[in-house]
Every structure is written in structure tokens, then in C-alpha cells.
Structure 1
Amino acid sequence: MAIPKIVITGGPCAGKSTGMATLVERLSDYGFRVFVVPEVPTFLFASGLTPGKMKNATQLYLLEKMIVATQIYLEKSIEKTAAEIYPRDKKIILCDRGVMDHRAYFPSEEHWIQLLKEQKYNFVNLRDCYVSVVHLVTAALGAEKFYTLGNNPARTETLAQAVAIDRKTRECWLGHPHFKIIDNSTDFDGKIRRVLSAVCKALDILAPTEIERKFLVASIDFNRMPPYQKIHIEQIYLKSDNPAKELRIRKRGQDGSFLYFFTEKWETDDPRERGEKERIIGLRQFLEMQSQRDPDKTTIKKDRICFLWKDQYFELDIYKSPGLSGLIILEIELTEKSEDVMLPPFITIEKEVTGDKRYYNNNLAKK
């Protein structure tokens, strides 16, 4: 059985990196082994093969031809190897852009058609081999004040250019049976929630939400627990020049397989909501960033039990760090502030601690 592949794509400064990081984490909570096909042009351009150095359409065509071939090779190789190594596991492949994205960067539509003929590619198979395609609209279209070139050194597009690229990329996916466009009609957190919801819908699983409530747990009856996933987490807090902004790196995984994340958090006016921006980093970067560790804070170690109850998504954090042993916090993220919480009967709650800063991980880490 083929591993489902989902494309996360979008225009410049659309939030794609944060969306990818969120999806990796949340889908892992649901029991998936998540494999990521990286954005192919980004690492190929690092070799010196960059469009800016190309002098004519033939050179650009050959570059894009190589990008498409590499994309197809990576997707097939990852799918084949993942299936062989983890034959019984529930798996998903997330593609940071898909084959059809590259069509937008060919010198002309005639060059794209030339590629299809030369390589005998089946256009429909290239487009529809993914179970879903989720396109995040550039901030340049509807959230202009948030459009920036600062968080990506390779980004040079003006507002108008970003809009043009965004629309051209979307057009390349027209006809796909499950093509979702995530616009800027909500705030950024809402945008990422809709990305997550779209992906979860494509996979027929419940989408978790973002507005948070926390409860201090007195006891748990594991004999009555529904099916769950146990995730091991280690969080290291970094020095921050801005006291209002929390910086951390995190090691997260299970069964000896881990991914690494860098997260920024900040408070909002509502104690139930916190701003958050997260991206995936590599092991090397995770190790290097530990040199920026906040010396006044210890590493937070905890096991996270992720489960569903009454169509709501819960996370049960059982702390393992010295000095925190025995502390258990139940968390739930809601779509609406007024939404009722159906607390599980197999968990005894001592009290609600939503908004109580003593139970923020950042404060729990203080020595």
C-alpha cells in the first residue's frame, strides 16, 4: 500500500515553514511516522546551480528539468525505504512543495510541455499522486503588513512579485481533486490551524486546536485510558534578548527516532492564548544551539501522552526532570474560547491552572 503524500506549498512569506513544523509534531501525536521531503530547489541552489547565474532559457530549462527529476527521485526513494523499514507503522510523507510547483518556474509553458514529452511523464500522475495539496497564500495578498524578506535570505520578491508567484503556483495545481487554499482571512495562528485541519481531514483524523486550557492532575487510571501515543520530549531554554519572548529548542520523538524544533513564544492579552512560531531544525543545529542555553534554567524532560476523548484532543505531560517528578499537567487546545471541555473520567483533576504562570514550562525550568 502506497504511503500517502501531502504537499504543503505556497507563495513567498506564507508561513509554510511554521506549517510544516506544526504538521510534523501533530501528526506524530496521532501515531504517524512522518517523513519529510525537503524543498528541492533550496538545497540544489546551494550547490551553485542558481537561476540568477543562468544566461538563457535553455540553461533555465536544464536546471528545472534536474529539479523535477530530483523531486520525483526523492519522493519515490523515501516512500520505498520507509515502507521497507517500517512495514507495519502508520506512515505519512509531507512534501515541502511538490512536482507541480516547479512548473511555475520553467522559462515558458512550452518548456514544461517539452519536459513531459522528453521524459514521458504522465501529467495527471505527476499532479494527482498526492492525497492532498495545501497552498498557503503569501502574506503579500491580504496580510501585507506582515510580508517580510528578513526571515529568508533567498527571498527577494517585492509585494507585486510575491502575489504573481503565488497565483502562478496555485494555477499549476488546478485540477487536483483535493487542492486546498489557505488564505489570510484569519490571524496567523488561525491560518496554521486551518492548514492542520485540512491535512487531518485529508487523512480522516480529527484536527487538534490551539486555544489552550491546562489542568493539574492528581491521578490517572491507565487501565481506562483509550489508545494513545507516548512521546518523549526534552526542552532546553535559550538566552533571549527580549524578556517578553521565550526561546527554546526541543527534541521530540519515540522509539529512538527524534526530530528537533526551534520555538519562539510570547504572551497575548488572553491567558488562554500564547503566540508561537516554530520550525524544524537538524540535529547538528540542535546541538550547536545548546551553546546559547540559559544558565538559569534546567532541561525540561517529560513524556507526553496524546489521546482523543469525546472528539477532543488531549495532551498529558508527565514530568521526569529532577525536582519535577510527580508533576502531571493535562492540556487541551480548543477552536473557540467558549467551547466546553469534556474532561476524561479516568483522570482526576486537582485544579485548573490555565494562565497560572507557575505552571509555564519556562518557569518550571528555573533552577
Structure 2
Amino acid sequence: MIQIENTFFELGRTSQRNCLIICDRGAMDASAFISKEKWEAILASNNWNNVELRDNRYNHIMHMVSAANGAEDFYSTEDHACRSEGVELARELDYKAAAAWIGHPYFDVIDNSTDFDKKMNRLIACVCQKIGIDTGDRLNVNSKKRKFLIKAPLAPDSEFPPFQDFDVVHNYLQSDLRKAQVRLRKRGQKGHWSYIHTLRKFHPTNGQSVEVRTQLTHRDYLNLLPQRDDAHLTIFKKRRCFIYNNQYYQLDIYRQPTHPRCRGLVLLETYSAAYDQTILLASLPKFLTIEKEVTGDPAYSMYNLSLKEDWKTSKRYYAGTECNGHTKLTNGHGNVKICHSKMNGHSEEKIGLACDKINGCEKSEVRKTNGHHHVNGHGVKTDRNGITRNGNAHTNELQDIKQRIDLGSPKIQKVAVKI
């Protein structure tokens, strides 16, 4: 592990640009899982010492507290090949892993006092603060996703700040899980694609909405695509990403073929902690015409927008209307109350950050064990090659959907795929 780190550290030192090197675990972690005598023997045989390995090797240590300590409802060993510990043992090992880094001059612990989204924001904000990056209020613990309806036509490209455009394709899949939404996303630029499988389900006891995102290979994507839910149309978008006044935005422009309800639809998304509507609207891009905020409005949920059926008669309509902090879900399985319209739960995730300054910036180490990709035993097992090149896939899929878009198209037979 140390040799692998050294290789990346050297690459960073020879780079002409600022680098942030994120490592999985750190040198001191081994001391948490063996006896003190064995650790001392390893140090002596390699002429190492704790000060060099712990204090001087890394600039910053971040310890993400295990879900077994404070978020036990989200700790699971199901479908986790590398996790076999029960809650008590996992909690004990988590304490030992944290203790191994005690004494480092810059050591932060991120606990489970908030939901998972806020936990991640606290982690990123802590790293950004350490290396001097101003993130505005995007990572504020009160920051949440906001969605706005944009009036077409859009301003000319010349009026936008520097941006990147992507082709995005969403397909909802059939699912055996009650009260769950499963979808595939293909996102690409100039013929290069990445693929994501997302499972959104609701916790049976506390009602939190948990999204499990798993990166897929092109082959995995093609294997899962036949499981498309024929009650939904495929959604095609152009996604434009840009920064305006230090705020990151995504502009989704819906494309044909699609349901008539989506024609000409343009939605703007960002994260903000501003609660005053006047202040919020004043901060939005001036070159866009904002019709209204639609955050939490089920009429602008992609799940509903993709439904083939008429909303008035559909039993699958997602009635995400907020009432006293709760959300109702109607998904063909009755109603479920959840506490928030979008709140990711905790997954078993433990991250340690170790940093080394390179060209005035820092390289940081983040260590994950059994992270966000498999929460409560759900997710798709894939290899790590999540980005593939498939220049013709988008065109071929578009033609396929054009042939299937009529409401009388045949049902897609569900196929069991073992990856």
C-alpha cells in the first residue's frame, strides 16, 4: 500500500498543476487490526516510526464514523462480500481505526449526527476549507436541492458562462421491491459514456428515502436494459452544467421522443441554503427566465413525467406532495409516509483523509469501506470500469425508443441477470 501511495505522490510532485491525491486508507490503519507487539515489529523491521507514518506523511486525516455507531438501522452485512462483522464488532473496530490516528495535527471526525447527504457535505466542506476552496453555501448543512421551471426559448449560448453539455438517457426498470424506484442513467459527451444504476427506496421504520447509486460498465448497462418498465417512456435530455456567481447549476432540456407533457420542458437544478424566496430568486442566473420554483412538485418528478398513463387514472403516480414535513408515495402499492421528499440515509462508510502538499495544494487521502454503493444489501455488483466508449449507442437506442413509444407497444419480459 505504501509503495502504491509513493507512486502517486511522485506523480503529483512532477505534475505542473495543483493536485489533490485521495488514498484509500492510510499507513496507520494496519495498527488497528493487529497487536501492538506485531505493529512495533513491523516498524522496527522497516525502519519506520509512528510520527513519520502518521504526522508527516499526510496533511489531513478524515475519519467517517461507521454506520454501526449512531446509524445502526443502515448497517448491514447482506450482500457485502468484504463485511462480515456484526454491529458490536464493527463499532469496536471503528473506534480502533479512529484511535490509530489520534495525535495527527489535523484530524477530523465526521459522525452520524445528520443524514447521509449532510454527512457527505460536512466531509467535503471540511476538505475544501483545509485547502482553501470557497464553496459558497452549496455544502452548508442546511443546503438542499432546489428545482425551477425555466421559460423557453433559452438565451443564446453566448450569454451563458463557460458550460459543458451532456446527452442523458434515463430508463426506469421493473422491480420486485415494494415502494421502490429503480432506474438506469446513461450520460455522455462526444461518444464517451458513463452508466449509473440507481435504487431509490424508503426505509421501513424511519421513512428516509435512500438512494443507492452504482457505477456500471457498458456490458452491465446492456444486460439490465431489457428490464425496462414498459409503464414508463425513456427520458432523453440535454444537460448543461455551468457555474454562475460561485453556484453550480444543472439545466435539463427535455428532448424528443417523449410524452407530450415533457415537450419544451426545461428545468434548472442547484443546491442552496437560502430560505427567503426573494433572496433565492435574485441569486439565480439573470440570462434565464424563471417561471416558478417546483421543488417537491410531483408534476415535475421525472418518475411521473416518464409515465405513459394519464396521471388522473394511473395507480403508479408518485404523489410527492409535502404536508407537515411528510411526503406521500403512491406507486401501485398504497401510500407511504416519509419524513422528507429527498433524504439519503446512512451507509456503512468510513473515510480517512491524508494530505500532502503539492505545488501549493494538498493531496488528500479518503478511505472507504463498504461505502454508499451498497446500502442495506442492495445494489448491482460490477467491476470498476464504469466509463466506456460507445459512440453509436445513443443513436441506436433513440431509434429503438421511437419504435416503442406508442402506448400499445409489447410488454418487456423481465430477465434475471447475474453479474
TM-score by length of structure 2 reads 0.58
AA at the equivalent of 1:307? F
Give me the whole-angstrom Cα distance separating, in 1, the residues matched to 2:11 and 2:263.
Answer: 39
Give me the whole-angstrom Cα distance separating, in 1, the residues matched to 2:256 and 2:130.
Answer: 37
Per the alignment, in what secondary structure is the counterpart of residue 191 of structure 1?
helix
Q: 1:348 aligns with which of 273, 289, 294?
A: 289
Tell me what 2:337 maps to.
none
Distance 1:335 1:349, change over 3 A: closer
Q: 2:61 aligns with which of 125, 129, 133?
A: 133
Q: Show the 5 A alignment for 1:1-367.
A: 71-76=1-6, 92-105=20-33, 107-121=34-48, 123-124=50-51, 126-127=53-54, 128-130=56-58, 132-150=60-78, 152-203=80-131, 204-206=133-135, 208-209=138-139, 211-218=144-151, 219-242=154-177, 244-252=179-187, 254=189, 258-266=193-201, 275-283=209-217, 284-323=219-258, 326-335=264-273, 340-341=279-280, 342-367=283-308
**8 Å Cα contact 2:197/2:216 also seen in 1:** no
Give me the whole-angstrom Cα distance separating, in 1, the residues matched to 2:189 and 2:57.
Answer: 29
Give me the whole-angstrom Cα distance separating, in 2, the residues matched to 1:257 and 1:100.
Answer: 39
**8 Å Cα contact 1:247/1:262 also seen in 2:** yes
Q: Deviations over 1:33-81 (max 9, x none)?
A: xxxxxxxxxxxxxxxxxxxxxxxxxxxxxxxxxxxxxx33444556777
Give me the whole-angstrom Cα distance separating, in 2, the residues matched to 1:184 and 1:152.
Answer: 21
**8 Å Cα contact 2:12/2:21 also seen in 1:** no
**8 Å Cα contact 1:211/1:337 also seen in 2:** no
**8 Å Cα contact 1:252/1:258 also seen in 2:** yes
Give me the whole-angstrom Cα distance separating, in 2, the residues matched to 1:255 and 1:82.
Answer: 28
Per the alignment, in what secondary structure is the counterpart of residue 95 of structure 1?
coil
Instruction: Tell me the C-alpha RMSD between the 2 structures.
Output: 3.6
Q: After alignment, is 342-351 or 222-231 more displaced?
A: 222-231
**8 Å Cα contact 2:298/2:304 also seen in 1:** yes
Q: Deviations over 1:128-183 (max 9, x none)?
A: 54554332212222233433323524323233212211111112223444432111
Distance 1:175 1:163, change over 3 A: same
CA shift for structure 1 position 343: 1.4
Give me the whole-angstrom Cα distance separating, in 2, the residues matched to 1:244 and 1:306.
Answer: 31
Per the alignment, in what secondary structure is the counterpart of residue 231 of structure 2?
coil
Tell me what 1:9 maps to.
none
AA at the equivalent of 2:293? E
Unmatched 5+ stretches in structure 2: 309-419
What is the percent sequence identity of the aligned residues?
Answer: 38
For these two proteins, the number of residue pairs brought into alignment is 290
CA shift for structure 1 position 89: 7.7
The structure with the greater share of residues assigned to strand is 1
**8 Å Cα contact 2:166/2:240 also seen in 1:** yes
AA at the equivalent of 2:212? E
Distance 1:238 1:345, change over 3 A: same
**8 Å Cα contact 1:261/1:278 also seen in 2:** no
Q: Considering Cα pairs closer than 8 Å and 6+ residues apart, tell me whether 1 or 2 has the greater RCO.
A: 2
Distance 1:100 1:192, change over 3 A: same
Give me the whole-angstrom Cα distance separating, in 2, the residues matched to 1:150 and 1:163.
Answer: 17
Give me the whole-angstrom Cα distance separating, in 1, the residues matched to 2:37 and 2:66.
Answer: 27
Give me the whole-angstrom Cα distance separating, in 2, the residues matched to 1:318 and 1:90.
Answer: 34
AA at the equivalent of 2:144? I
The structure with the greater share of residues assigned to helix is 1
Unmatched 5+ stretches in structure 1: 1-70
Give me the whole-angstrom Cα distance separating, in 2, the residues matched to 1:282 and 1:201.
Answer: 32
CA shift for structure 1 position 331: 0.9
Q: Deviations over 1:180-236 (max 9, x none)?
A: 211111223322332232343345141735522211212235333334444443333
**8 Å Cα contact 2:199/2:213 also seen in 1:** no
CA shift for structure 1 position 334: 2.7
Per the alignment, in what secondary structure is the counterpart of residue 216 of structure 1?
strand
Distance 1:226 1:83, change over 3 A: farther
**8 Å Cα contact 1:299/1:321 also seen in 2:** no
CA shift for structure 1 position 254: 4.8
Distance 1:150 1:312, change over 3 A: same
